[in-house]
Structure 1
């Protein structure tokens, strides 16, 4: 069994506690590696290393073009180690190997994209209202960034948080979920081969209360970028506010996938199935509320149920598998509890609803693709994030009612619309209170497009050019070039 250590200041370092914890293979249901149990001492060492990298290390004096070249090499090394990184992700969180291969390729593309942006960060020259004064702005790195990543896609989250941070000139400390830390530790060690200076990118692991909280509260952390539940996000936000730290947060979702009677039903069924059962429903953007126009609701429900029954559940390492296990034992229990809650509320389970069993299913963390009807939008199953393979079907009469139901939630992350009416696509896209709208597709992502949520689904944006701005401070500079100094008008500010 492999035993990992923290990656701090360009080297593996054993935890100050001298203790490790198991990380569990969710398919086998058995430990496969050990990760460090970090504490406040480890947090301080890691932040100090990141601060040195930004202030006195070579990263601080490096040109943006040089930083970009190193980041591009990180992308190259990611692709060179694709198979190994993908396999580690699968062993750690149970995602499909076929899907993770694509994810790791996208991780490399994220590093390439922000490598290209590193030397495109610009200030502006301002026309001043007084003669003899030149005014301009510069964009400067905000400082040490703390990246708190979730267990369902560690390397993807590491890239979409740290690549723009490094492009901006920041350094970072990454604290991955204790449930899936191995891939982050493996990946960050590879960055040394790319020539990344020591201390620029650090990874420390352990429980949130032991090392996550000290990192959040550390005075030398200037910004926190977090992906996870809205409950944990609110606690991080509150702690950050006490020191006026900047935050960017991608939180939960209860995304509506809306099907109109004029939709291509075959495509819509595929989108509904992929939207909720892809990744075992363990996605912040999972289309967990399927809103179907009443005129086709019965027919469409039958089609979706048939497709759900055809989903192959099993070994995530096998190419034919379409849905793997729940990534963690606590998540398995949570999803099963929500299935019981839905039934108690009066929703009707028409597919699944039980732990999955059968050939190739091990470990005790599998759940059948589950579908509920007779759901009203005020039920907990329709309002709370389940984060598992559980779909609730809700009918609607017309466009106005679809919008009302879709927006009637605390969340606002994503939505899907299925219709052949182009005017409706534009009207709905404007009316839906979400950060991402998909029209006649679902789960289509691009590193070129900013991603984030409205309402309780988050603060700030990741990906795209907008992401770099999260890690920059704007400084205004005014310099007199007149022969005589202008008089100070003593204007109060």
Structure 2
């Protein structure tokens, strides 16, 4: 599909959304109605109008999906295809995503409220890159050999595990779905995808792409429904061997509890409260750009958002003044306007939750420097809009500095010394990402080593390298995905001992 110009996104929305008004489960290569008779609604965050009716999977639907995936794994061709053939199909998926990028982006933007420029130009194209990357990785799954003189050669091989349950969040759902589906299929597994109920529609577009790319029936399945019913059913099912979950920490703990009885293998990417630590010797212009982008892009609804800004006292007042002026100029508007930088939050309930944190911050004594309220523009009145919000003079123990808000809210905390900065950075239960700004290389390395997080960016915003491991420490998750590290989760490691000669075998009970 040709690139759509600014003025055509609304028209494209009107032609695309009717095709997803009523979506269906995708099981065994076919779109099909649910058997439970239950439905839920997907709502446009910009207007709070219903844009689609979605089936809620019941026990029979879940069993059909698991059975289809298990059959495809045990009897179908996918796990036994040469890696190069699986890679060819994955590349075809990437091609189709790029061809349909505008259509997918419009559906995702309408369903999530994320600005179209950030969805189309980054998230959807990144999703295509995920499939291309793991197509290449599929041909590079290797083992190691351990020769023992001329007696043995011992070697390892990696094999697919089986049926995977892939449970994804409501923020940037399409990209995060591909982040799980691509390595899962590259390794030869089959899967059931369960998208979040607040943003289910782009998963339907992914199912269409996967079908059209020629993935065999049953290899990829899609079921909708609430996590406490569908997600937990997948975690409980004995035929599902893997659960990859991205979402809230409490939900992740619950899934692990439910799946423990069948000894599930889990990969958990959970909550975050990531610090941005800016020292006085840093490039302050770049640090300011990165801070604003890191917490306010994607409407602040991102797990790696730098939602705590730690500023050294020497630069505190000047940096805060510049920060507040910039944040006040952020363009809040309809997500299909390419000039929009912050759109509406995902759901009315989430808006209410974030607004409650604004109240909590003020009750705790933090200074609300800007934002914290709905826009005055009457055209935005029906949507879940919140002006980008900055709290200053925040104490590290305040709830707004401790708890994941998951919205366009930044807490600014002063510090004096490197030791104090490290103590504040580590003083939360999360440990997903961190950002350090300094021109002192030794300090940068000390901070990178000392901060308790799975990922640290130095003098940079969140720039992903698909070869590197992604994941968190503490209550931000378990396991790593990305690059070869994805295959630590999506493959089973087997050791083969091959005797080359006639080594001595002890004889027991032999005749005299």
TM-score relative to the length of structure 2: 0.93
Report the RMSD for the aligned CA atoms in angstroms: 1.6
2:263 equivalent in structure 1? 244
1:403 equivalent in structure 2? 422
1:122 and 2:142 are equivalent in the alignment:
yes
Q: Which moved more, 1:473-482 or 1:112-121?
A: 473-482
2:196 equivalent in structure 1? 177
1:449 equivalent in structure 2? 468
CA distance in 2, matches of 1:313, 1:395: 28
Could you say what secondary structure the match of 1:470 adopts? helix
Tell me by how many angstroms 1:362 deviates: 4.1
Could you say what secondary structure the match of 1:51 adopts? helix
Number of aligned residue pairs: give it. 489
1:111 equivalent in structure 2? 131
CA distance in 2, matches of 1:421, 1:387: 31
1:221 and 2:221 are equivalent in the alignment:
no
1:199 and 2:218 are equivalent in the alignment:
yes
Tell me by how many angstroms 1:234 deviates: 0.7
CA distance in 1, matches of 2:103, 2:86: 26
1:57-76 map, 5 Å: 57-76=76-95
1:254 equivalent in structure 2? 273
1:46-445 map, 5 Å: 46-101=65-120, 102-128=122-148, 132-358=151-377, 360-445=379-464
Query: Does the aligned pair in 2 maintain the 1:42–1:211 contact within 8 Å?
Result: no
1:459-474 map, 5 Å: 459-474=478-493
Query: Does the aligned pair in 1 maintain the 2:375–2:381 contact within 8 Å?
Result: no
Query: Does the aligned pair in 1 maintain the 2:25–2:55 contact within 8 Å?
Result: yes
Query: Does the aligned pair in 2 maintain the 1:30–1:363 contact within 8 Å?
Result: no
1:475 and 2:508 are equivalent in the alignment:
no
CA distance in 2, matches of 1:7, 1:284: 28
Q: Which moved more, 1:285-294 or 1:182-191?
A: 182-191
Q: Which moved more, 1:406-415 or 1:426-435?
A: 426-435
The match for 1:8 among 4, 19, 27 is 27
Could you say what secondary structure the match of 2:304 adopts? coil
Write the deviation string for residues 384-441 of structure 1: whole angstroms up to 9, x where unpaired: 0000111111000011111111011111111111222222222211111111111222
CA distance in 1, matches of 2:508, 2:173: 54
CA distance in 2, matches of 1:347, 1:199: 53
Write the deviation string for residues 105-142 of structure 1: whole angstroms up to 9, x where unpaired: 1111110010011121112222248x644422211111
Query: Does the aligned pair in 1 maintain the 2:79–2:160 contact within 8 Å?
Result: no
The 1:251–1:488 alpha-carbon spacing in structure 2 relative to 1, beyond 3 Å, is: farther
Query: Does the aligned pair in 1 maintain the 2:301–2:406 contact within 8 Å?
Result: yes
- Unpaired runs of at least 5, structure 1: none
